[in-house]
Amino acid sequence: MSTLVTGNLGYIGTVLTEILVSRGYEVIGLDIGYFKDCELIKTNKHIKQILKDIRDIEITDLDGVDSLIHLSALSNDPLGEFDPKLTNEINYSSTIKLAKLAEEKGIKRFIYVSSQSMYGISRTDEELDEYSSNKNPLTEYAKTKWKAELELNKLNSKNFNVVSFRPSTVFGVSPRLRCDIVFNNLVASAYTMGKIDIKSDGSPWRPVVHIRDVCSALISGLEAPLTLISGRAFNVGIKNGNYTVRQMAEVVKKVLPKVDLFFSNEHSDSRTYKVSFKRIFDELKDYYKPIWTLEKGTLELLNFFKMINFTKEDFLGVKTNRLKSLKSNFTKTFTHDLRLK
């Protein structure tokens, strides 16, 4: 089976591609390449690689493709707010264009990597499910993800099957590691600086999931019967997977007890939500079996940092912070590749 992975040169895409290849999939990657030089260790995969802006996708790029995993996006709130117009073009307009081309090409499975950020601010005395819970997207990133999901659902049919996976906040090792996401940031700060300095009071709730468990969910979209996934949305997380930021920091401190932990209360973070994962555990139980905990992920990250001699400069640098990397690329290709005036 030939699977096209958009955004394959990103944080999740790099790991997903390696896992797919190891499982015998023929993988085609499509990525603009802004983060291709953000490797902290070299990857060994040998796949067909299309280096192209997702906005320029053509139907011939889908030649020979049986299924499609769509990861490509400006992938969190800070990146989304960097240029709202660009975020809408990439996260929404290009997603729908890609889906319509895939439908025209006869591709049976379109696996969309959505987001739990669409839940926004919510009550924390209940866990949010995929359908009955209110959507309250606050940022451009969240709005485009939710809008794309709604439009993709209209395209779902017996011949073109769309499934949307909404990952929790991702953590864990990747050759193209990100340190601008919450738990990786906490562990990297503890390792390189000997302290964790949280600007809020640590009370906001965040669901979490390991990068390899996210990949497991996406692969279930390739392997589960269409009757289980067609037209469905699934929150992706782990059992008991809702943590406050304070609780996450305390997990790190438990592993590294000498680390200093500070809560400065400089900024209030109103985004807080707990998410239910009952649907994915019930309906995809034979295909999605997450195995990673925060404790296990902490040890994995620490071992990775030791192996590569990870430094404070790495932690704060361009390679592990996507907004810094994107700004660097904007400087290099400001008018041509991104078509800004």
> For 57-94, how does the pLDDT look when each residue is reduced to its tens digit (9 = 90+)?
999 999 999 999 999 998 765 655 667 888 899 999 99
Nearest to 101 by CA among 71, 143, 145, 56: 56
- CA–CA separation, 68 and 102 (whole Å): 8
Residue 80 pLDDT: 56
Tokens of 20: 């797919």
Query: Does the pLDDT of residue 136 top 90, yes or no?
Result: no
Mean pLDDT (the chain) is: 92
Residue 76 pLDDT: 62
Whole-prediction pTM value? 0.93
CA angle at 139 for the pair 90 and 181, rounded to the nearest 5°:
85
With residue 188 as reference, give the H or E element that holds it: helix 182-193
Tokens of 332: 């290099």
Q: Give all domains of the chain, ordered by start, each with its CATH number.
A: 2-332 (3.40.50.720)
Query: pLDDT of 216-257, one tens digit each?
Result: 999 999 999 999 999 999 999 999 999 999 999 999 999 999
Query: pLDDT of 272-324, one tens digit each?
Result: 889 999 999 999 999 999 999 999 999 999 999 999 999 999 999 999 998 88
**Which ranges of 194-332 would DSSP assign to H, the alpha helix?**
211-223, 226-229, 245-255, 278-283, 294-308, 312-316, 322-332
Q: How far apart are the first and last CA of the chain?
A: 42
Residue 232 pLDDT: 98
